[in-house]
Amino acid sequence: MSSRKKVLLKVIILGDSAVGKTSLMNQYVNKKFSNQYKATIGADFLTKEVMVDDRLVTMQIWDTAGQERFQSLGVAFYRGADCCVLVYDVSAPNTFKSLESWRDEFLIQASPRDPDNFPFVVIGNKVDLENRSVPAKRAQQWCQQKNGIPYFETSAKENVNVEQAFQTVAKNALAQETEVELYNEFPDQIKLTNDQRGGANRNDTCNC
Amino acid sequence: MHDAYEATAILKKLPLQIESIASFVPDGGSTANLLLGTKVGHLLLYEIDLKKGDNSSVRLLQSVKNFSKKPIIQIAVVPQYHILICLTGYPDNILSVHDMTKARFPALSVVERTRGCHLFTLHVTEETSQTGVVSVIVRLCVAIKKRLQLYYWKNRDFHVLREDLCLPENPKTLVWSGESIFVGMRGGWKEYLRISLTGESEDLFPVGTDGEAKIVAMGQGKIGLMQDKKLVIIKSDVFMKSDVMKSDGQPILDSVTWTDHPVAIECDGPYLVGVMSTGVEIQTIEPRMIIQTLALACESREKPKLMSNCQLGLVFLASNYDVWALKATPFNDQIGQLLRLKQFELALRLSEFGTYVDGEREKLVQYIETLHAFDLFCKFNFQDAMSIFLVLDIDPSNVIGLFPDLLPAVFQNQLNFPDKVPELRGHSLENGLLALKDYLVEVRNRLKDNRSKFSLKPIAEGSTTIRSKEKLLQIIDTTLVKCFLQTTDALVTPFLRLQDNKCHLEETERALTKFGKLSELVILYKANGQHRKALFLLQKQAKRPESPLAGTERTVSYLQHLGQDHLELLFEFSTWVMLENPEDGLKIFVDDVPEVEQLPRARVMSHIRDKAPELLVPYLEHVIFEWKDESPALHDTLAERYQATVQALQNAVGPAGDRLNECRKKLKKFLEFSTCFTPERVLMRLPAEGFYKERAILYEKMGKHDRALAVYVYLLEDLPAAKAYCQRIAKLGEKTAAGEAFLSLLKLMISPPNASVLGSQVTRLKHEENFCADAGLRNAIQLLEEHPTCMDPCQVMKLLPSAVPLEKLFQFFKCNLYHLSKSRKELQLLKGLNYSQLLQVHVQRMELQSQKIVLTELRTCPGCKKRFISHCAFAHYPNGDLVHYSCMEKYENLKL
């Protein structure tokens, strides 16, 4: 497993609309924030190179539209994801409530090999707001119930904790990726049958 | 392998040696015509009508003797213009054009410039103009030694298209394709060359070590070049760069290897027909395979050497003295054969060539693809099979039916399949289910997407399809649960939890029970609103230590999320938990869960009082202290419970000191903390004796300061507490109430109150009889000195006995008067300040009112650059800018 080849990690951000998925990604990748709300259509991704345990990996972060459900994106989009980031808005209890169904939907669509241990990261965004209404304790409790999902409270606006959250995303995604590689380590099978398509000697039994 | 072609000998042992061949379907006609040019210069025209069996007719239409005095080495026909182009051999070697409408085909013209020509090629295209007129463009390329002459057909003659092109060597073969001419060279050069009409030329690759150059136009922008025994297929209109000329890269598209060197090759629809010394070989490119080898019945032992493709599915072959027809089996028959042979890819390819009525082709393709997918399934190639099923919109219920035990038997029996479905078990079953799972998730997504149309096709004729979307989703979801159960059971829970899950309750229930998935069963019930069933199951399982649902935990969390809509159920099933494990039972009503917090507390309270009274106090404590509930009923109840406990402990026999103290402390704390209980009711329940502190607090809450103070002074004998009480009231800010409290205290110090003040319950005042007036007076004067400003001196004077010497009150009056004059001065000062502020505001207002804006014709709005007409609303910015009211937003954005 000493393969030092370039690693591409596919990370998908999910959550209700207007919880700040796009803002988090923009803050993390571009270090920019805008107060204006613009709904994401379909899905869009940005890439960022990060160091994880002295290994350079490329994170491909997919931002999705929270307004629609999965139909428009299809199974193929979720396949091969290495980590899923679930985002909610600490000032909107309903967005926290939806986390469960976002997680369920993701698992069904992506159907990872080991659903119980697939790396998720939960982010409670907008901690800069005054009217916080989901207690951190409640969110932590939920994460604990789900096999100990790492939990971060961030503010994409004030760049609080964003870097840390995504560093964890990268680390856990890499761990997952490594595990998948292990599965694929078996060499290609060697075919003993002669599989020359369309060869003129198709009917011959001898290859000389 | 199937029979694609049938070879028939149509002319045997001709007396003349055939030199050239051409075939065509006359313009407007339907039967094939065959032209043969002979060595002696005769031209023969046949009409050939091929039918099944021996009914084929071969009719000699014309025999033109002495058509030429020289051998006819190449002929070509343009049926649209009814012309025949003929190249006669040595020594003239000249090209002539003949009129086919007249008998004996008289020459229209002889292209004199072509003298010395040994090879030509035609390029005929049809162009439809915008008005719908079809014009046929005929271009001609003639090879004379190392030069190529180019002509076009107009006004029944050939005209020079462009100046001649030069070649490095004499060409052996020529093919005109699109805007390029492909040349295969003879002699020492032996290369393929591509020359575009603009004159650019490009070496392609060598012809090969043995064999002659041969080029086949394959249509669709493809051209085949023979290299040894291999036909290399390239794109005709893309220049090949030498560095990309790899066998696997573009623009080499493909290559076909023949068993021998072909003498001639033609492309006929999906097939490549190669003639070689041993016979005819039929091949296809996609998929690459040899379809058929035909031996030609040949009496003269002459090998075939010429070939002409007359129309789709009809090819003529000629040797020196014999002619054969290769007729393709009707495409539909071929497709039938191929389907039996399970050669679906080729069948699909053939379906592109047959002629069909509207929509028939699509149906055929669907049919072939379905069979293909089914065959893939039978070969256990599940993923590919499923992706085809998905593309074809096959009814998912039909696909599910391919697997054992997934559909209800009634439904399964209504399904037909193209063939026997293989039995799946073990590893192959698991792989199949995995593919099915992915397929169903995708189908499910598509069904939910309302934009997609809903039209499903059966997997085989006569198979039932489902017309209701709802029902289909139900089948899909139920099957998905079964798939998850058998493959990745960790996904069952998330799937059942999905809000749009449409699982069939009983069927899913059976499946889950079969796999012993009790926890998932609870979720199923919950998702379907079958809370009673779920809770009943939980209760039953709670007592089995080996069950995954053992204990009260699951019931507690279930009930916590049930919410107030199912209150009856909640009460019913919380009872056993509260009895079993009071601590957990309490959690049902007090945990940090939004649903729990929203339960109607009064009803919960009465439920707890009925079923588990010992939990009532902890419940109320949580509601009142944690959730800050303010409803009086709850507060009253808690107060009552506290009192009852305290009294019970007091009345109890034996030492209960610590608990009693603790309880009293709690009661006191509660009374101090809460503002929502009804003090009168609590007071009423207090026993006649004792509970003085509580009593004082209650009087305070009721606002009866005199009584509260009386309790402090006479029952508790705690003057500092009484003073603190007054100060507390003073701090609340109500001046009159504070003054009254102090005065009451003063009054109490001077003379004891009558018993009625403390209520009828307290019948006896302690130490009433040994009340000491002197001490009282001393205390009163001390109070006056300590709080001189809190009491109105007139009231104080009224209260004090006249015997009090005035000098004792000196301190009080001094402070009091000083305080009064101080506050008076402060007020005067404040009045002056307020007045001056008022004046300033007046000035400001006058200044602002005197402002004006002058609008002239010349003033324009910086937002829209237009003038201000009269009667328009505008906005004036502090910096002097003036814009239309409607331009304000635009202007502000502009400034940003």
Residue B113 has pLDDT above 60, yes or no: yes
Query: Is B271 near chain A, with CB under 8 Å?
Result: no
Cβ <8 Å between A200 and B229: yes
Query: Is A188 near chain B, with CB under 8 Å?
Result: no
What is the rounded average pLDDT of the residues B749-769?
Answer: 57
- What is the pLDDT, as a whole number, of residue B846? 93
Q: Which residues of A touch B497 (CB under 8 A)?
A: 100-101, 104
> In whole angstroms, what is the distance from residue B369 CA to residue B353 CA?
16
Cβ <8 Å between B498 and A104: yes
- What is the pLDDT, as a whole number, of residue A188? 56
Structural contact between residues B271 and B2, judged by C-beta atoms closer than 8 angstroms: no
| Pairing outcome for strands B323-328 and B180-185 | unpaired
Percent with pLDDT over 90 in chain B: 15
Distance from CA of B498 to the nearest CA of A (A): 6
Residue B244 has pLDDT above 50, yes or no: no
Q: B812: pLDDT confidence band, cut at 50, 70 and 90?
A: confident
Residue of B nearest to A142 (CA): B593
Distance from CA of A49 to the nearest CA of B (A): 32
- What is the pLDDT, as a whole number, of residue A70? 46
Can you state the angle between helices B553-560 and B567-580, rounded to 10 degrees?
Answer: 150
- What is the pLDDT, as a whole number, of residue B392? 87
Cβ <8 Å between B438 and A71: no
Residue with tokens 């964003």: A162
Residue B562 has pLDDT above 80, yes or no: yes
Query: Is B498 near chain A, with CB under 8 Å?
Result: yes
Which two three-digit tokens encode residue B522?
Answer: 């609870």
As a three-state string, the secondary structure of B203-230 is EEEECCCCCCCCEEEEECCEEEEEECCE
> In whole angstroms, what is the distance from residue B787 CA to residue B781 CA?
10
pLDDT less than 50: residues of chain A: 1-3, 70-71, 196-204
Query: Is A103 near chain B, with CB under 8 Å?
Result: yes
B622 DSSP assignment: I
Among A145-154, B70-79, B461-470, where is mean pLDDT lowest?
Answer: B461-470
Q: How many domains does chain A have?
A: 1
Q: B896: pLDDT confidence band, cut at 50, 70 and 90?
A: confident
Residue B582 has pLDDT above 80, yes or no: yes
Residue of A nearest to B493 (CA): A104
ipTM given for this complex: 0.79
Cβ <8 Å between A198 and B446: no
Percent with pLDDT over 70 in chain B: 93
Cβ <8 Å between B498 and A103: no
pLDDT tens per residue across span B589-612: 888 777 888 888 888 888 888 888
The more confidently predicted of residues B542 and A2 is B542
Residue B8 has pLDDT above 50, yes or no: yes
In one letter, which amino acid is B402?
Answer: L
- What is the pLDDT, as a whole number, of residue B702? 77
Query: Is B594 near chain A, with CB under 8 Å?
Result: yes
Residue B248 has pLDDT above 50, yes or no: no
Residue of B nearest to A76 (CA): B442
pLDDT tens per residue across span B11-64: 888 888 999 999 998 877 778 899 999 998 899 999 888 776 666 788 888 898
C-alpha dihedral, A159 to A164 to A167 to A173, nearest 10°: -110
- What is the pLDDT, as a whole number, of residue A2? 44
Distance from CA of A6 to the nearest CA of B (A): 26
Distance from CA of A53 to the nearest CA of B (A): 31
Residue of A nearest to B229 (CA): A200
Instruction: Provide the H-helix boundaries in B288-419.
Output: 331-340, 344-351, 360-378, 382-392, 396-400, 409-412
Which 3 state secondary structure label does DSSP give B253? strand
The most confident of A124-128, B443-447, B619-623, by mean pLDDT: A124-128
Residue A74 resides in a domain:
yes
What is the rounded average pLDDT of the residues B195-213?
Answer: 82
CATH architecture of the domain covering B852-895: 2-Layer Sandwich (3.30)
- What is the pLDDT, as a whole number, of residue B760? 47
Query: Is B495 near chain A, with CB under 8 Å?
Result: yes
Q: What kind of fold does domain B119-257 have according to CATH? A: Methylamine Dehydrogenase; Chain H (2.130.10)
Structural contact between residues B265 and B224, judged by C-beta atoms closer than 8 angstroms: yes
Residue of A nearest to B592 (CA): A138
- What is the pLDDT, as a whole number, of residue A86? 95
Residue B535 has pLDDT above 80, yes or no: yes
Q: Which residues of B touch A111 (CB under 8 A)?
A: 437-438, 441, 488, 491
Residue of A nearest to B435 (CA): A111
- CATH number where A110 lies: 3.40.50.300
In one letter, which amino acid is B391?
Answer: V
pLDDT tens per residue across span B405-436: 888 888 888 888 888 888 888 888 888 998 99
> How do the domains of chain B map onto residue ranges?
119-257, 356-508, 852-895
Among B162-171, B637-646, B759-768, where is mean pLDDT lowest?
Answer: B759-768
Q: Which residues of B touch A65 (CB under 8 A)?
A: none
Cβ <8 Å between B288 and A104: no
Chains A & B: contacts with CB separation below 8 Å: 66
- What is the pLDDT, as a whole number, of residue A180? 60
Cβ <8 Å between A75 and B441: yes
- What is the pLDDT, as a whole number, of residue B655? 65
Residue B77 has pLDDT above 90, yes or no: yes
Cα–Cα nearest to B149, from B107, B126, B108, B118? B118
Minimal Cβ distance to B497: which of A100, A115, A198: A100
- Structural domain span for residue A38: 7-184
Which 168-187 residues of chain A touch chain B by CB within 8 A?
none
Q: B152: pLDDT confidence band, cut at 50, 70 and 90?
A: very high
> In whole angstroms, what is the distance from residue A44 CA to residue A64 CA?
7
pLDDT tens per residue across span B357-379: 888 888 888 889 999 999 999 98
Q: How many CA atoms lie within 13 A of B159 on its CB side?
A: 6
Percent with pLDDT over 70 in chain A: 80
Which two three-digit tokens encode residue B650?
Answer: 């007091």
Minimal Cβ distance to A71: which of B437, B449, B491: B449
- What's the whole-model pTM score? 0.68
